[in-house]
Amino acid sequence: MSQAPPPSLFIIFGGTGDLARRKLLPALARLAEADRLGRCHVVGVARGTDHDDESYRRLVSAALVEAGLSEKARNAFCASWVHYQTIGEGTEADYEALGARLRALEAEHGLPSNRTFYLSLPPKAFPGAMEGLAKVGLDESDGWTRLVIEKPFGKDLASARELNEVTHRYFREEQIYRIDHYLGKETVQNLLVFRFANAIFESMWNRERVQSVMITVAESLGVGTRAGYYDGIGAMRDMVQNHITQLLTLVAMEPPSSFDADAIRYEKIKVLKSISAIDPSNVIRGQYDHGQIDGEDVIGYLEEAGIGGSSTTETFVAMQLEIDNWRWKGVPFYLRSGKRLAKRSSQIAVQFRDVPVSLFRAMGAKLDTTDVLIITLQPNEGFALHFDVKVPGDPFRTRRIPLSFDYGDLFDDIPPAYQTLLLNVLSGDQTLFVHADEVEHSWRLYTPLLENPGIIHRYRSGSWGPREAEHLAIPERELWQV
Please report, as ranges, the residues that interact with ligand BG6 according to CB under 6 A: 219, 238
Pairing of strands 456-461, 397-406: unpaired
Question: Nearer to ligand BG6 by C-beta: 247 or 374?
Answer: 247
DSSP H helical ranges for 143-244: 157-170, 186-196, 199-202, 227-230, 234-235
Q: How far is the CB of 219 from ligand BG6 (least distance, A)?
A: 5
Q: How far is the CB of 151 from ligand BG6 (least distance, A)?
A: 6
Q: How far is the CB of 229 from ligand BG6 (least distance, A)?
A: 7
User: Looking at beta carbons, which residue is closest to ligand BG6?
Assistant: 238
Q: Please report how the helices 71-81 and 53-66 are oriented relative to each other, as an axis angle in degrees rounded to 10.
A: 150
Element (H, E) at 49: none
Question: Nearer to ligand BG6 by C-beta: 94 or 219?
Answer: 219
Q: How far is the CB of 238 from ligand BG6 (least distance, A)?
A: 5
Q: How far is the CB of 208 from ligand BG6 (least distance, A)?
A: 33
Question: Nearer to ligand BG6 by C-beta: 45 or 298?
Answer: 298
Question: Nearer to ligand BG6 by C-beta: 238 or 289?
Answer: 238
Tell me: cis bond preceding 395? Omega within 30 of 0 counts. Answer: yes
Measured CA to CA, the distance from residue 389 to residue 382 in angstroms comes to 21
Question: Nearer to ligand BG6 by C-beta: 120 or 211?
Answer: 120
Question: Nearer to ligand BG6 by C-beta: 322 or 438?
Answer: 438
From 434, 410, 411, 412, select the one nearest 421 (Cα to Cα).
434
HSE-CB for 203 with a 13 A CA cutoff? 3
Question: Nearer to ligand BG6 by C-beta: 22 or 47?
Answer: 22
> How does 8-20 read in b/e, with b if 16+ C-beta sit within 10 Å?
bbbbbbbbbbebb
Q: How far is the CB of 267 from ligand BG6 (least distance, A)?
A: 24
Measured CA to CA, the distance from residue 280 to residue 480 in angstroms comes to 25
Q: How far is the CB of 344 from ligand BG6 (least distance, A)?
A: 7
Measured CA to CA, the distance from residue 446 to residue 154 in angstroms comes to 12
Question: Nearer to ligand BG6 by C-beta: 59 or 348?
Answer: 348
Query: From the candidates 83, 243, 435, 441, which is the catalytic residue?
Result: 243
From 16, 34, 108, 17, select the one nearest 422 (Cα to Cα).
34
243 belongs to the catalytic site: yes
From 241, 246, 166, 167, select the one nearest 431 (Cα to Cα).
246
Measured CA to CA, the distance from residue 177 to residue 433 in angstroms comes to 6
Q: How far is the CB of 324 from ligand BG6 (least distance, A)?
A: 28
From 432, 386, 390, 418, select the one nearest 405 (Cα to Cα).
386
C-alpha dihedral sign at 365, 366, 369, 372: negative
From 145, 304, 126, 137, select the one nearest 228 (Cα to Cα).
304
Chain centroid offset of residue 85 CA: 30
Q: Which residues are catalytic?
A: 243
